[in-house]
Structure 1
Amino acid sequence: MSVRGALSTMPAEDVLEWVGRRKLSGPVTFERRGTVRSLVVEDGTIVWASSNRRDEQLGVIMVSSGLVADRALADSLETRAETGVPLGKVLVMAGLITEHDLIDILATKIRETVTDVCTWSEGTFDAVPKTQMPATGVNAQLPIEICITVARRRMPRMREIMHVLGADDVLFYAPPAITPPAAGSDEVIDLARIWALAADRRSASDIAAAFAGERYATFDALAHMVESGTLIVDRRYRERTNSAVELAAGARGRLRQGDRAGALAMATQALHQDPSNAEVRKSFASIERARVAEVAKQLLSRHRVPRRLRELEASASSELGLSTVEVELAKRIDGRWDLLSLVRSAGVREAEALLAFAHLAEVGVVDLG
């Protein structure tokens, strides 16, 4: 028998405690103002969390965190559609992420979901006990009581945070002449990178996705920066209208104009926004092929032996906007391997490797010879 009700009469923590005490199995869904968060419970243990927010979806978190490339995610989504195998399992089977790392991210999603819904004073819940559970692939295993304990500890500060920020999609300004936070080796979360992303007009939710979905820690850091004056909330912000489909259309327009690099940048952004959209994936694939052909003609027309011009510290990589793949490829340059061999021996698609080397040259990390 399903149990439905209003969070104003039965708060989320009470709902979850009730489910935990009875060791029920099934999805528990919470909805408020269009945001839907769901938890899958097995015998009183939470094994999965999902959301209808794009920035909280597993694939987006993987890409934003630099764990999986855009194209690899698109391929994995196609595999999921063709086989019915859950996305997480596809990523593990393809060797794109370890099962341990995947479980860490899933556990984070669960904790963040429970923390958030426990702060809701309005909305609805729906607990539907089931004997046959939906296939979720690789699972985390977090007891409900532990998740509730974490949520209760965080709730007072989380309410303060949301009072400061206002919304998940909030944008920020960096005041003039403000010194960015220094990177600290003992920090749990990279404050310098958070500030840089916020100053680059990334929303709070997008920044959290870039930190493996660590919503509470990221939002807490952003709120502290706003409270200290190192960031200013953009109160004029309105929801963005550039959809992934619109971006893909713009990318195709740039391609027709001959701007292949600009077209690929827009197509990549579109794929990042909505990797499951077939039109977006098709546009990205065709534009990437065009850009790769252009770069290959420029770089592979003669023998080249790249050499590294600078060492890449973590802070430098962040400042230059380098991906994990680009950093790893840069480290492989030793002045002996030629460019074609480096591309062919890379642990990613040759097209992706070639574009990565082109970007490394553009930002002055390597000289391609």
Structure 2
Amino acid sequence: MSITGNLKTMELAELLEWLHRGRKTGTLFIDNGEVEKKIYFEKGSIVSSAASDPKEYLGRFLVNHGHIDEITLAQAVEMQQENKMLLGKILVTIGAISEKNLNRMLRTKAEESIYELFTWQEGDFNFVDDELPGYQAVPLSLSNVTALILEGHTRLDEWRRIKDKIPSDKVVPVTVGELAAPANDEVAERVLGLVNDERTIQEIALEAHAGEFEASRALFQQVEKGRIKMIRPRMMGNSEEPADPAPASADSVDARALLKAARKHVAEGKLEQALRYIKATTILEPNNRQLKQSIASTEDMITQRLRNDGVNMTSVPQLDCNIEEVDSSTLSRQAGFMLTRVDGTYDLNGIAKISPMSPLEAQIVIWELKQAGYIKLGKKKKKSSAR
């Protein structure tokens, strides 16, 4: 018996339970207009899944989870084109992954694919009796169907909480504090490593080879800890007037409030946080001429604070510690980069030219290293003229 419908009228959990209890054999097709997924059943047990979304392809999934690298995947795909073997079998044959780990990852991939279905608001489905893939699938245990449904509901609840703060993958995560991924969470590490105050969540997820849920969850954890704010950029155009407000989350983010907070951070000596809030303000309203003047004024406040503490572009940073004894885990990525470039001969202007930071950001990092006692500042020696 076949069944067709839409997830709006028949929930996924109800559909899976019906197929499971009826011990159905066949393929469940679900299409939301962008992605089509297939779930294969044999006597009510889910035996495999497939999807048209490239991030769910087996090779990409194994790369994302650190089991193979891009070069190995490319070699295996080339071999697959020549001999038409299954990709997983090729990877086992060449010793890239053990059969045990492959089977485990195939099960994980199927489970993750189904979990994502619970976040779909709608999608047409069609179950075709007795249609199965023309290859031997790795079966999931019968009890997993019920477990998948329970976990799927848990994911859905979590997704709703995330959406309260991150309503769209078009928003830009802007750092306002030091980011730190949970231990042993490689996906979160990749996602947070791509946050540059310019990329949207959609762009970050694409580059991190992660799904929207995975990327959003990693960023949501940072939002909850006050380390990230979500900004919805105004559309760039010819007009210098700000666009109508478009809140980036349930808690509307106001550009002027961000700039006010930045000025407060400057007064408190929290220069890195101040700069992050300035960046967020710029992203939020890039065409507001009046705001640009206020931003420039706030940046001048930072520059003046740096000068008062002896930091400017002609300062020559010198190590004031044994670099081998420095605990790198206590340093930000920028501070670590800058510390390894300090040799007592180049001024900050020269170091900034080879760093990925803006001149103001580079000065702030040097200021922080000086405050922490890692470096001291000198003046560039004038070259003696020949007589």
State the TM-score, normalizing by the size of structure 1: 0.54
Aligned to 1:247: none
Distance change >3 Å, CA 315–CA 34, structure 1 → 2 = farther
Q: 1:189 to 1:65 in 2, by over 3 A?
A: closer
- Give the AA of the match of 1:78: E
Distance 1:43 1:123, change over 3 A: same
For structure 1, the residue ranges without an aligned partner over 5 or more in a row are 239-309, 321-369
AA paired with 1:156?
D
Provide the secondary structure at the position in 2 that maps to 1:4.
Answer: strand
Residue 173 of structure 1 aligns to a residue whose secondary structure is strand
Q: Give yes or no for contact 2:171–2:233 (8 Å, CA) kept in 1.
A: no
AA at the equivalent of 1:223: F
> CA RMSD for the aligned pairs?
3.7
Closer, same or farther: CA 95–225 of 1 in aligned 2, 3 Å:
same
1:162 deviation in Å? 3.8
Q: Distance in 2 between matches of 1:18 and 1:234?
A: 42
* Match in the other structure for 2:89: 89
Q: Does 1:230 align with 2:227?
A: yes
Cα–Cα, structure 1 residues 37 and 76, in superposed 2: closer, same or farther, change >3 Å? Answer: same
Look up the equivalent residue of 1:164 and give its one-letter code. Answer: K
Check conservation: 2:7, 2:124, Cα contact below 8 A: yes
Residues 236-247 of structure 1 mapped to structure 2, 5 A cutoff? 236=233
Secondary structure of 1:198's aligned partner? coil
* Counterpart position of 1:53: 53
Larger Rg: 2
Deviation at 1:189, TM superposition (A): 6.1
Q: Which residue pairs with 2:108 in the alignment?
A: 108
1:310-349 correspondence to structure 2 within 5 Å: none
Q: Alpha carbons of 1:160 and 1:194: their partners in 2 closer, same or farther (altered >3 Å)?
A: same
Larger RCO of the pair (alpha carbons < 8 Å, separation 6+): 1
> What is the CA–CA distance in structure 2 between the aligned matches of 1:184 and 1:6, rounded to whole Å?
37
- 1:275-324 deviation digits (Å, cap 9, x = unpaired): xxxxxxxxxxxxxxxxxxxxxxxxxxxxxxxxxxx9xx9979xx79xxxx
Tell me if the contact between 1:99 and 1:138 (Cα under 8 Å) persists in the aligned partners. no
1:31 partnered with 2:28 = no
Residue 192 of structure 1, CA deviation: 5.0
Task: Answer whether contact 2:27 2:129 (CA < 8 A) is retained.
Answer: yes
- Higher helix share goes to which structure? 1
The offset of 1:124, in angstroms, is 0.9
Instruction: Measure how far apart 1:18 and its partner are.
Output: 1.0
Corresponding residue for 1:180?
179
Distance in 2, Cα, partners of 1:164 & 1:134: 43
Q: Which residue of 2 aligns with 1:220?
A: 217
Summarize the alignment of residues 67-82 of structure 1 with structure 2, pairs less than 5 Å apart. Answer: 67-82=67-82
Report the equivalent of 1:153.
154
Contact kept, 8 Å, 2:40 with 2:132, in 1: the verdict is no
Task: Write the letter of the residue equivalent to 2:218.
Answer: A
Match of 2:22 in 1: 22
Partner Cα distance (2:40, 2:110) in 1: 9
Contact 1:107-1:141 at 8 Å conserved across structures: no
- Contact 1:171–1:198, Cα closer than 8 Å, also in 2: no
The equivalent position to 2:193 in structure 1, one of 182, 186, 196, is 196
